[in-house]
Structure 1
Amino acid sequence: MHSRQTVRYICEEYVSGNCYYYKSEIITHDNWKNLDSLSWSRPRPISEKTFLKQKKAGYQTEHKFIKKEPAVVVSLHKAKTV
């Protein structure tokens, strides 16, 4: 179990309106006394319900707005030549 200082919950909201929720924890690559070895773990997917519950409980949360436009669909259909 992580404390409020060692975990963060992330909401990424895209231009399309889709929201994705993640959890990230502080991990060490050496020991806890070596502050240079501390870093955030890779974000792990969580549910919206978990995000809102932890936000209400006072955990650190981030809301990121991603302004990346949706990908352009390219047709790979080949025209039949005679």
Structure 2
Amino acid sequence: MNKNNLRSYWRKNTALIRNLLIVWGIVSLLLSILLVEQLNNISFFGLPFGFWMAQQGSIVIFVMLIFIYAFQMDKLDRKHNIRR
């Protein structure tokens, strides 16, 4: 792998990590803590949505982000011909 290809790979890798961390931060901090009172006015499966996000939703989103990261990194590895 040449130097430019390696730089491109790591730039895309760190951009993916940054974007997923931003989503995780928004979900865990904003929706589960800061906006919980406003979200509690919405009912979700019979529970206030803010409560559900704090208890279950942020965990569900986090697991989804793990699968998204794995899928996207597999595509990136193949695109840049990274062998395991």
Q: Name the TM tier (shorter chain).
A: under 0.3
- Between structure 1 and structure 2, the one with the greater Rg is 1
Which has the higher relative contact order, 1 or 2, with Cα contacts under 8 A spaced 6 or more apart? Answer: 1
Higher strand share: 1
Higher helix share: 2
TM-score for both structures, normalised by structure 1:
0.22
TM-score for both structures, normalised by structure 2:
0.22
